[in-house]
Amino acid sequence: MSREAASTQISPPEAEKQTQKTWSHPGGKLVEMGSHTLKQAELLAILIGSGTPGRPAIDIANAILDIYIGLYGIHRQATAEDLARIPGMGPRKAARILAAIEMGRRVYKRRRPQVAIPQVEKDLFSALTPHSEKKIEPQGPSDVDLIAEIIGSGIKGRSAKVIANDLLSRYDSSIMGLFGQDMGDFLRVKGLDSVKIIRICASLEIANRIANAI
């Protein structure tokens, strides 16, 4: 499950063949083609996971996009209560989607260059003295909390939050460290399986698109 491998250039005939291929679930497309090739509805469907009788996850995802007109609209307008009321959703699925959206906001803030705010100084010498940069601390849930929400469930003796903390501790203890990594390496974290890793990868792609749209 290599994200880097999924981004490798392929020949035009092979690309056309893969483009025409259909997947029973967008998770398979993510693994084979890379998260960047997925449509917004496909990314949301991965986070939604399971649908309801007669209403698959992709249909629920499209219904969400019809209401909010894209991921950016979810960022601007959606609340947990509103998402949960959409048929086929519920509180857990709504929280998972909003966790990915919040990741996007944080990616945007952390990528944005920090502009120094000039202050009144006592003299020219002190004005030229470099100041230490303050680390931007997220407000609200921690990065670990957000990844734990994406993971969903843990395993015996190892909660989703413990798993999320283990994952982030390997990559600078920040969601920023997860970008560009080989998703297959995530399997080394006890408690992560292919379904949860695909969900994390979809969340990172949503976060990247939100960060670029803000």
Q: What is the pLDDT of residues 162-198, one digit of tens each?
A: 999 999 999 999 999 999 999 899 999 999 999 999 9
Look at residue 54 and tell me if it is in a domain. yes
Look at residue 7 and tell me if it is in a domain. no
Q: How many domains does the chain have?
A: 1
Q: What is the structure's pLDDT at 25?
A: 82
**Per-residue confidence band for 3, with pLDDT thresholds at 50, 70 and 90:** very low
Please name the residues in contact with 33: beta carbons below 8 A apart, sequence gap of 6 or more: 6, 18
Q: What is the structure's pLDDT at 74?
A: 97
Q: Alpha-carbon distance 25 to 49, whole Å?
A: 9
Look at residue 5 and tell me if it is in a domain. no
The predicted model scores a pTM of 0.81
Give me the domain span that covers residue 96.
25-111+139-213
**Per-residue confidence band for 206, with pLDDT thresholds at 50, 70 and 90:** very high
Asked whether the predicted pLDDT for residue 134 surpasses 80, the reply is no
Q: What is the structure's pLDDT at 11?
A: 46
Question: In a 10 Å sphere around its CB, with 0-12 CB exposed, 13-18 middle and 19+ buried, how is residue 113 labelled?
Answer: exposed
Look at residue 62 and tell me if it is in a domain. yes
The 10s digit of each residue's pLDDT in 57-107 is: 999 999 999 999 999 999 999 999 999 999 999 999 999 999 999 999 999
Look at residue 191 and tell me if it is in a domain. yes
CA atoms within 13 A on the CB side of 202: 32
Asked whether the predicted pLDDT for residue 46 surpasses 50, the reply is yes
Look at residue 125 and tell me if it is in a domain. no
Asked whether the predicted pLDDT for residue 20 surpasses 80, the reply is no
What is the mean pLDDT of the segment spanning 111-140?
59
What is the mean pLDDT of the segment spanning 136-151?
86
Look at residue 156 and tell me if it is in a domain. yes
**191 DSSP 8-state letter:** T
What is the mean pLDDT of the segment spanning 5-22?
47
Look at residue 128 and tell me if it is in a domain. no
